[in-house]
Amino acid sequence: MNQPVTARAHTNIALIKYWGKSDPELIIPQNSSLSLTLEPFYTDTTVTFSNQLTRDQVSIDGQQLTVAASQRVSQLLNLIRQQANQQNFAQVISINHVPTAAGLASSASGFAALAAAASKAAGLDLDRQALSRLARRGSGSATRSVYGGFVEWQKGHGDADSQAIPLQEKIDFDIQMIVIVLDPRPKKIASRAGMARVVATSPYYPAWPVAATKDLAAMKTAILKKDLNLIGQLAEANAMKMHATTLSATPPFTYFEPETLQAIDLIQGLRATGLSCYYTMDAGPNVKVICSAKETPAILARLRQHFPADHLLVAKPGPGIAYL
């Protein structure tokens, strides 16, 4: 039996979204994206390769997964076994430190932690770029969770250069998020299926990578200027462009719930009172508010009039992958 290795990776929320693949097999995106890694939400994963095992054994939050449910994990382990010339199956124990019912996607932190723990346990010594490319094969957003702070996933041309780079691992100005948990249930249409449908059927999809590329360049300038309002405006507009592709798909769909629109309306109202707050959403109904730590108490006070206090989660920027 090999030594167990434990890695921690934090989740991230995109300010410029990854939406649509040009190569679904290798998970090469149609556009580059940019995210903020979050401090309070992370996954700890321990991997042990052992010649005593007859198949990969995966448990998440104490639940043993079936062979079918652990297929995506085993696919990533297969890649690692190939690279490391490792014959053994692995035991994978993963714990998500995302407050229960947060409804936040754990695939970013989950696959980043798995890539880090499993590659090291298999005897590979990958640098962060290689880790980022490996995490990408598990889930697109995991590509960015290798680094802390602001991170850019450069779409590249193929497997060899589609990877994340850190833009600012330690952020030197006041920015954070408030997650409004509206619906903790698993999403109705997984991001994978949603992306595939919009790429194949939305007449607006071709405009998306063009717009996202422009938005990304503007976002990098806004970050350099430490301009919270500009960052928020760009993130909000970019998220809405992404969601417009779902409404225009065949058959059409949306990740919004009625409460999502209520939250949007509320945030716009808060902004009209002079508070700097902006919204973004991923492939689910929950709303993430981009704001400063300084104004968080005032924003929280207003949000608490509409949402239960335990559905409002404050998240500071967080670090990249670490071995425990």
Residues at the site binding ligand PMV, with contacts judged by CB under 6 A: 14, 17-19, 33, 105, 107, 139-141, 191-192, 282-283
CB of 146: closest distance to ligand PMV in angstroms?
13
Helix (H) or strand (E) holding 287: strand 287-291
CB of 35: closest distance to ligand PMV in angstroms?
6
Which residue number, 48 or 139, has a Cβ lying nearer to ligand PMV? 139
Which residue number, 14 or 164, has a Cβ lying nearer to ligand PMV? 14
First to last CA, the chain: 19
CB of 75: closest distance to ligand PMV in angstroms?
14
CB of 3: closest distance to ligand PMV in angstroms?
30
CB of 130: closest distance to ligand PMV in angstroms?
19
Instruction: List b or e across 224-263, with b for residues whose CB sees 16 or more CB atoms inside 10 angstroms.
Output: eeeebebbbbbbbebbebbbbbbeebeeeeebbbebbeeb
Which residue number, 89 or 138, has a Cβ lying nearer to ligand PMV? 138
CB of 314: closest distance to ligand PMV in angstroms?
20
Q: How many helices (H) and strands (E) does the chain have?
A: 8, 14
CB of 265: closest distance to ligand PMV in angstroms?
22
251 preceded by a cis bond (ω within 30 of 0):
yes
Helix (H) or strand (E) holding 301: helix 296-303
Round to whole Å and give the CA distance between 142 and 146. 7
Round to whole Å and give the CA distance between 128 and 135. 10
Which residue number, 48 or 143, has a Cβ lying nearer to ligand PMV? 143
Q: Which amino acid is at 181?
A: V
Which residue number, 29 or 46, has a Cβ lying nearer to ligand PMV? 29
Facing residues of 29 across strands?
A: 21
Q: Cβ distance 248 to 203 under 8 Å? A: yes
Neighbours of 113 (CB within 10 A): 34
Phi, psi (degrees; rounded to nearest 5) at 114: -65, -45
Which residue number, 35 or 57, has a Cβ lying nearer to ligand PMV? 35
Which residue number, 19 or 41, has a Cβ lying nearer to ligand PMV? 19
